[in-house]
Amino acid sequence: MTTRVRHSATVTNVRNNRMTVNIERSDTACSACAIKGLCSSAKDKTASIDLHTTDADAYSPGDSVSVSIEARTIRNPMFWSIILPCLIFVGIIAYGDFNRLDENATALTALLSTSAYYFAYFLTRFVLRNRQVEITLQSQ
């Protein structure tokens, strides 16, 4: 069974298969989130989210919608953008220290490797962006 995080939202903008929604967050919704400690927007009561959907034309500004996403989809970006680069950096430093390599060369290699990783991450960002997000109209 997959856990889904659901929020009520209001559509603010619709154009070119994209829609912007404002989510009113409650403290109870953020308390169930797996990454609430790392989320910089957890302190804000409203969030503006840009969604890519093929049926964006079915919505208009002011519509009330329900937005839901799988909890694992929230954790994946944290792994790819924070944890894995740190593991690469620390792994290269540990390898250089264990093999008694030159400290300057090891540090430079770790920095360049992490930079190369972030460049590759930037090039593939839209693959990670297209995750399943359900948008449904709420009954009035």
Which pLDDT belongs to residue 135? 55
pLDDT band at residue 86 using 50, 70 and 90 as cut-offs: very high
For 6-53, the pLDDT digits (tens) are 778 888 999 888 888 888 766 555 666 665 665 655 556 677 888 777
Helix axes 103-123, 84-98, angle to 10 degrees: 160
100: left (phi over 0), alpha (psi -120 to 50) or beta: left
Report residue 17: phi and psi, to 5°.
60, 25
Q: How far is residue 46 from each of residues 21, 24, 29, measured CA to CA in Å?
A: 10, 5, 12
- Flag whether pLDDT at 134 surpasses 60: no
Domain spans of the chain, in order of start: 4-137
CA angle 12–15–16, rounded 5-degree value: 150
Sign of CA dihedral 35, 39, 43, 46: negative
Which pLDDT belongs to residue 139? 37
pLDDT band at residue 84 using 50, 70 and 90 as cut-offs: very high
pLDDT band at residue 108 using 50, 70 and 90 as cut-offs: very high
Tokens matching residue 81: 């953008």
For 56-79, the pLDDT digits (tens) are 788 889 888 888 777 666 677 778
Which pLDDT belongs to residue 99? 95
